[in-house]
Copies of this chain bind each other. A is one copy, B any other.
């Protein structure tokens, strides 16, 4: 035999299943999704799901981890870097919006999952950074706080709590996607108009945000 150790499944099949699960879980949520649906979507027998992933729950976790890892790290890296604050704002907006344009359903899916299963919030941060949330947060807050302090003392910025800085920035980027269906219905946007809407926010959002904290 060729196998070097215990697990050596067919990676292509595993990937196909994971992709199918991704599609179905995002559409219906973990509790609304049916393993049969996933199997069909993957063009595979239902039992194979359990061969590769032990259970629906494990499969759901794998999908959730992948989703979390897809969104969070890039932004967090920028925020925790030593770039200037204004530069951070511009880069976060740019990265986040282009990332989300590629995966518009992820925010809704992730929020929904976290909402219905408290454990998901830990899985989220672990998948995204391999650390407990408090660790990430503490580090992040310390960095941003000291940068704000410096800028404020230099008279280049109004005082703002680091928490607000982070929450405001992420809210403005992510919520339009999380509430996408609602906004699009309200504002009469179709798919294409929504994309254009977001594209133009990539220009306007940083200025809007920066004006909010400049003296």
Interface pair A175/B171, CB less than 8 Å apart: yes
For A105, the closest partner residue in chain B by CB is: B115
Identical chains bound together, number: 2
Contact B176–A167 (Cβ < 8 Å): yes
Residues on B with C-beta less than 8 A from A118 are 181
In chain A between 140 and 162, which residues have their CB closer than 8 angstroms to a CB of chain B?
A: 140-141, 158, 160-161
- B residues in contact with A200, CB < 8 Å: 161
Q: Is the CB of A188 closer than 8 A to any CB of chain B? A: yes
**Contact of A130 with B by CB under 8 A:** no
- Which chain A residues numbered 13 to 45 have a C-beta less than 8 Å away from chain B? 27-32
Q: Which residues of A pack against B, CB within 8 Å?
A: 27-32, 105, 108-109, 111-112, 114-116, 118, 121-122, 124-125, 133-134, 136-138, 140-141, 158, 160-161, 163-164, 166-168, 170-172, 174-176, 178-179, 181-183, 185-188, 197, 200-201, 204, 208-209, 211-214
